[in-house]
A and B are shown apart, each in its own frame.
Chain A
Amino acid sequence: MTKQIRQLDRVVIRFAGDSGDGMQLTGDRFTSETAQLGNDISTLPNFPAEIRAPAGTLPGVSSFQVHFADYDILTPGDAPNVLVAMNPAALKANLADLPRGADIIVNTDEFTKRNLAKVGYQSSPLDDDSLAGYVVHPVALTSMTVGALAEQAVSKKDAERAKNMFALGLLSWMYSRPYESTLRFLERKFAKRPELVAANIAAFKAGWNFGETTDSFSVRYEVKPAKMLPGTYRNITGNAALSLGLVAAGVRSGLPVFLGAYPITPASDILHELSKHKRFGVVTMQAEDEIAAVGAALGASYGGSLGVTTTSGPGVALKSETISLAVALELPLVIVDVQRAGPSTGMPTKTEQADLNMALYGRHGEAPVAVIAPKSPSDCFHAAIEAARIALTYRTPVILLSDNYVANGSEPWLLPDVESLPDLRVEFATEPNGEDGTFLPYLRDPQTLARPWAIPGTPGLEHRIGGLEKADKTGDISYDPANHDFMVRTRAARIETIPVPDVEVEDPDGDARVLVLGWGSTYGPIGAACRGLRQRGLSVAQAHLRHLAPMPANLDEVLRSYDRVVIPEMNLGQLAHVIRARYLVDAIGYNQVRGLPFTAAELETMLEEVLKNV
């Protein structure tokens, strides 16, 4: 039969199944196929902290959402148009997010009495009318996969495991995706087991062919490529982009990158990624704990490396004493905090922006550091370079506040020209800088207020540094009251006077009276909400902070140019507190701590209310 082809401008698909069903991989492959086609993309994985929660249960559900469109998009989408549910738990866990009329593709083989009972279904939702508002496509995914692989030299278990490739084949057919990259991927992934390459490719093709021949899918969709800037792209997650940014910082500074890290969700992928890049001179050390990780990084910085430590909130808490030492030593150090929901262990695989206070203030004494935050997955690349730039130029710890949403989400990334990246070369001290050939380790550069970076091995500059208060210039131990006051103020000024770019305001209509101010990963949902309002003829301005310490010089003026300032944050108002305290602006907070990113729709609704009341 000939299938009808329908054009769409955007689609949101959510793949959901048991943690063992390979949904992350399926989503990843679908994303890659979609990228090849040239759609704009944004993705959001959502998985449990348990590696293998009991099979078939609600806590064991893992999902991957991909939003793709023929125009540029900012978020992984509020609500899926299509849900692929590999078992009853996946259906139950995700149904509430689906708008009426959405397509649901279910693996009927898993809808057994036992599996239904595990998640509290009295009867199968496929048999009653509880799904009447949706378009349900029942597919015997497992048995059809096993059937299709009957001739293959694989066990029944391996055949069953290939059902995600059947689902991927079906969805790839439905949305007319190019699949060559998936075939190549399978060949690479199972290179050592050719029988699995054959089986997975056969399962993929069976799913594709099923779509083509079955009556239950009468429509095939197309989403045309998006208009994007010319250049070479790849799809990238925030953690991967951040890792590459650190490698790039090493190349552009000419310094070896030293990463000290202790495994922690959701930052470990940065350690994994950087450990692959030894050919760039990158040294990675999996330390015995978070404190040793930052300590080793600081030791490496002292020796002339770009010292980096990567962690999440609980790790930053442990590192804070060493970060204070780095403040006193005035050495470069990059601390990456991939934020997750807290306090304590909290929800390790869920996102939050609640470490801003800790980054700004979470140390003893007056211990200011620079703080920056990336706004999207690909922006993590540039944010990492910026963190390194500030650390190296101003000889200071820099905290880079990523979060689980940007770290694991992905989007297309226009590859930068390497030569266009900032030049981060530094000059180590080589000569005495004092009278009579003495070396003054705390004699500052009047421009940057940075002290000389005199690394061990440099003859004639032997000196001692430490956590005890230093006398200005000489660096000798000093308990002098006036000196301490001077040094505390100087350390504050060192951060406060770092030149950072002005914050840009997006106000296409030019007459907005309300400014939405955000930082970090909320950029996408805020931007999408503002676009939605503007499409409906409403004016709203958006500004997004990359630099949280120091803040851009023009921020004061920007804030005062609007009647209302709204600050949406995935915390209880941490930036709003800073803005109110610093600028005496009566900012309105919009706060949510559900472990999930904002939806554009809820921000749009909230902002519409604010606009009404200006």
Chain B
Amino acid sequence: MSTALSRRTLLSGAAGGAVLLGLTGCASAVDQETSGTPKKGGTFAGAIGTDLVPANFYTNSNDGVTTIIGLVYESLILYPNDSLKPQARLAESWTISDDGLTVTLKLRQGVKFHTGRAFTSEDVKFSLESYADPKWNGQLKSTAAAIAAVDTADPNTAVLTLKHPLGNILDLLEIVPIVDKETFAGIGDGSRYVGTGPFKFEKWTPNARLQFTKNAEYRVPDRPYLDAVDIAVIPDATAQANQIRSGQIDYAYGISNLDIERLEKAGDITKIQRTGAEIQVYVAANLTVDGLEDVRVRQAIAYALDRDRILSEVFRGAGYTASLPWPKTSPAYDEELNNFYKKDVAKAKSLLADYGKKVPTLKYSYQTPSPLFQATAQIVQANLKEIGIDVELDPLDPPTFVAQLIGGKFPGLWTAYHSWAQYTPSTLTVSAYPFNALKNSSHYESDTYIKDADAAWKQIKGDSPEAIESYRKLSKDLLDGAFLLEIAIIEGRWAVTDRVKGISYTKRSELLLTDAQLTG
């Protein structure tokens, strides 16, 4: 018996050895995934948390879309991350007439789509019209719809005639990707993405990966450096963290801030904090709910919020607290106004005393499964308890949450993110639904707010002194109305290894790899 076991042991050992030898003898999958060594060329391997949703092409609402737009497409102009001073991209120059009704764009010549077709003013027209189509739900579709005509008589010049002056017209030109009309149908089902950008779309495997190859005829000489880009879809943040630690990927869009801190301390990664592409976390109120219709109650809530705690504990300090949506790079940013609501329990209680009634228990909705919203909601719940308002937490899955948000049907308070304040301020008030002056989720109605939002939108130049004064009025409207209470301005983070350099991003967090290089 012992002989038999020994033989078996030997056989097991041999089998184990064979497996190990087999594994080492074969090409290593880990080595294959690890980004290459040359400084020019190689495949960039990364990961995103949410897969492409083709119908969301113009909504900037998932990582798959922002990755494709960043790599494959280009817009007419590009804002730097720290300001709204437009830089040339597919448009070489642009002028806005004195009456604000005509925008003339001189287009870059010699630019080709990935199919080889030359880029012309017809493509500008087609792209802007596509963006205005309501079915695509573009954030600035109201601005796009305010373009009365696009003159394309000269293939190298596009002349936009506006229905009225648009203070945020340059935002639109920065946001809209220039698409190829001949292959546009492929965008709808995720089969074809043809732009003029540094990378060609190769393939999308749903729930698995997005693949791109270098555009050898890119308009910028010697760019891009990389030969290919491979972006895996990894919904689990921990799995992303593990893959970047193991060297399987060099870039991760979805790791928690806590994990990024840990990995950074361990020397495994560095972080890219996306200043200029901020999002905002807020608490908002449904004004049709008993108690919340009174501005004193809403202001009391604003004074009760411990913004510093939420920012440091939940978001690990990735940003700064806020009373208004505008980030520091915005022309509407005003430090004094931004600090208008600071935690002041006595003041909050005084406002509630003026209100004179007991505020009924409020439901407080937030999206699952995000632990960030849950943690935020718990802190807010404790804050409101301090001033005598009881809150019942109401976690909702994303479609239910969005349905209630769009329908204005929240049973009390809610917390969510919004964006678009990093652009010309009027973009926020005419596009982001929670802020929309005419109709919003809070059922907040104010003639002054409507008038000021419209005035800001119709400024001839978005950065003129008159425009900045109009933004100040908007800010005061938001503070006075207190229907949407900002908590903090959050700068999202990407994790990257030191094997890759030159990664950048747009103000919509689109991945830019034009100058990226592998160094390891």
Report if A and B associate in a common complex. Answer: no
